[in-house]
Amino acid sequence: MLEVSLVERVINYGVSKGAEFVEIFVEDRFDTRITLIDGKIDSASSERDFGLGLRLFKDDQQVYAYTNDPTEKQLFTMVDRLIEVLQIRSAEPRIVNLTNLDVKNSHMIVLHPLEVSKMEKARIMKLAYEGAKNYSDLISQVVVRYWDYDQKVFIANSEGTMASDRRIKTRLMVTAVATKDGEQESGFYGPGASMGLEFFNFHDPRDIGAEAARIADRMVRAEYAPAGKMPVVIANEFGGVIFHEACGHALEATSVAKGASLFANKLNQKVAADCVTAVDDGTIPNAWGSSNIDDEGTLTQRNVLIENGVLKSYLVDRFHAKKMNTKPNGCGRRESYKYIPTSRMSNTFIAAGKYLPEEIISATDYGLYAKRMGGGSVHPATGEFNFAVMEGYLIEKGRIVKPVRGATLIGKGIDVINNIDMVGNDLARGQGMCGSISGSVPADVGQPTIRVKELIVGGRKR
């Protein structure tokens, strides 16, 4: 994407001016997005992004510049401007020679998205539409969104590492609207993977549409959820958003390094119930949140965050690794060359436990069963998190009795992971986009069915 000799010259120039660390990130990316509304392809767009990000460290300070005109002159000017900001006056001579990092591809692609016609993509979308529309007479509208991208990245730094990766992702997102007696409710289902179009050999688009429609159909018949504190059983797959929000973000070095996390200084201490083991694994073959290397050129790895309730590891990026006196562990991520990378989750999940999901429900006298979760957010410094229940049911005397809607769950991270008292054996992962200071990145969340003894359910019925 850029001549290696030029990259080497720019890095050496930065080093010669006194930067402790110089990094170049080059990205070349194609996106395809197609929207289908009411059975018709409403719009389609193609996008190519190309740019370079330059990052320098000195004395625990970090500066960044980016451009989509990476000429030699422009790059040297960028280095000069950043050196000026860091107020570096002297430098020790040092020569950087770049060597390629051996990166094995763990995410084989069969049907490359750029080689599959858009007609074929449109056909898949229409199947998803049919799956949703035919699910129930109450489905009044269906929106299907198709998205694929092919991102090539090249990273080189003053430690002499040079690495490349190619990330190919495909995702289908269906929103179905159900209308009954003048009221509307929506359901969403949006699986994806680090795959090409072969993804649809494993996931029938009709099933994806039907799942979104099923949720809308149930929820439009539902009454409002109850309000107040109660036990909550959270189903597997996307239910894992609870760990992602309640704990995952607070385990990122971005928060931990500055003491803005309730998990700071708690390594090897008991932070969760014994039944909780949580992992972030960026290496899972073809998973939505996976990549071979992170956006700082570090090989991704499997990081056990919490093991049987004991805090084992944080998620650490390069900049914060130095501050925390540890090593980066392959989780420095960014949306694009327009963002400074920082520690982020990839595929994060609570490991399987021993209970059957049915056992967990039958052991619950009264509470909420959150079958499908929406998104959420958290303030890592205070631990306050929230997430939306997209599909909920009321549990009474160990049985699911009726659908309920409109509930948000809130709580504080540490309380929640200490209050998990049952973990099921049905581990599965779901796909989402995770937003933070380094932009929006694909991330898997996951868990088996779990029960939290007590959470605040933001419903309306008392």
- Tell me the closest approach of the beta carbon of residue 293 to other proteins, in angstroms: 22
Residues 6+ apart with CB under 8 A from 325: none
**Intra-chain end-to-end CA distance of the chain, in Å:** 61
Closer Cβ to other proteins, 284 or 455, answer by number: 455
Of 405-424, binders to other proteins (CB under 8 A) are 405-408, 410-412
Q: How far apart are CA 158 and CA 55, in angstroms?
A: 11
Closer Cβ to other proteins, 83 or 162, answer by number: 83
Of 34-73, binders to other proteins (CB under 8 A) are 34, 37-38, 40-51, 59-69
Binding mask 359-378 for other proteins (x = CB under 8 A): ---------------xxxx-
The tokens describing 245, both together, are 């929000």
Q: Where are the alpha helices (DSSP H) in 191-297?
A: 199-202, 205-220, 241-243, 253-256
Distances (CA, A) of 278 to 6, 15, 162, 397, 415: 43, 39, 31, 30, 16
Q: How far apart are CA 219 and CA 240, in angstroms?
A: 21
Closer Cβ to other proteins, 16 or 35, answer by number: 35
Of 319-358, binders to other proteins (CB under 8 A) are 338, 340
Closer Cβ to other proteins, 121 or 429, answer by number: 121
Q: Where are the alpha helices (DSSP H) in 152-237?
A: 199-202, 205-220
Binding mask 75-114 for other proteins (x = CB under 8 A): ------xx-xxx----------------------------
- Tell me the closest approach of the beta carbon of residue 355 to other proteins, in angstroms: 27
- Tell me the closest approach of the beta carbon of residue 422 to other proteins, in angstroms: 22
Among 15, 19, 88, 143, binds other proteins (CB under 8 A): 143
How many C-alpha atoms does 292 have within 13 Å on its Cβ side?
19
Question: 120 — phi, psi (to 5°)?
Answer: -65, -40
Determine contact, residues 314/270, Cβ cutoff 8 Å. Answer: no
DSSP 20: S
Among 111, 381, 400, 428, binds other proteins (CB under 8 A): 381
Among 435, 167, 193, 162, residue whose Cα is nearest residue 298: 162
Binding mask 189-228 for other proteins (x = CB under 8 A): --------------------------------------xx
Q: Per CB under 8 A, which region of 1-9, 14-22, 379-387, 443-451 contacts other proteins?
A: 379-387
Among 16, 106, 136, 140, binds other proteins (CB under 8 A): 140
Contact flag: residue 137 with other proteins (CB under 8 A): no
Closer Cβ to other proteins, 60 or 365, answer by number: 60
Among 9, 12, 13, 118, binds other proteins (CB under 8 A): 118
- Tell me the closest approach of the beta carbon of residue 362 to other proteins, in angstroms: 26
Q: How far apart are CA 116 and CA 197, in angstroms?
A: 8
Residue reference for tokens 């609870």: 242
Residues 6+ apart with CB under 8 A from 322: 57, 60
Contact flag: residue 186 with other proteins (CB under 8 A): yes
Closer Cβ to other proteins, 14 or 353, answer by number: 14
Rg (CA), the chain: 24
Residue reference for tokens 């949720």: 215
Q: How far apart are CA 284 and CA 301, in angstroms?
A: 9
Number of residues that bind other proteins (CB under 8 A): 82
Among 134, 229, 362, 365, binds other proteins (CB under 8 A): 229
- Tell me the closest approach of the beta carbon of residue 387 to other proteins, in angstroms: 6
SS3 74: helix
- Tell me the closest approach of the beta carbon of residue 90 to other proteins, in angstroms: 19
Cα 426 from chain centroid (whole Å): 21
- Tell me the closest approach of the beta carbon of residue 63 to other proteins, in angstroms: 4
Determine contact, residues 370/233, Cβ cutoff 8 Å. Answer: yes
Contact flag: residue 152 with other proteins (CB under 8 A): no
- Tell me the closest approach of the beta carbon of residue 181 to other proteins, in angstroms: 13
